[in-house]
Structure 1
């Protein structure tokens, strides 16, 4: 059954958002991200004490593409 859509005002859509008006079979937003973080970066809690004397984060990645999304439709 076809959708009947009235007036629509779109103020903004985020960079990874999807807007669909009407009938649709499947909506599948696709995104990819890589995060580098040093020691103790994602620790959470009350009264947390993290001691990192000499710490560095290795960001060298020999792969050209880690998670291809070009033909992921």
Structure 2
């Protein structure tokens, strides 16, 4: 069963498309993972800022009580 040139060409193109799709999916997965890490870092920074603001309020209240 011999494959003619057109069939081989179509198979080659299909394989190329599949490889391209797989590479695109891998890249997309890396982007999603990186985005999740960035979101996590932003949430941590927001929590630290809130903690600092709360601490600042407590210190200001203590300073006002001492006066």
Q: Same fold (TM over 0.5)?
A: no
Using the size of structure 2 for normalisation, the TM-score is 0.18
Question: Which gives a bigger RCO, structure 1 or 2 (Cα 8 Å, sep 6+)?
Answer: 1
More helix by share: 2
Using the size of structure 1 for normalisation, the TM-score is 0.18
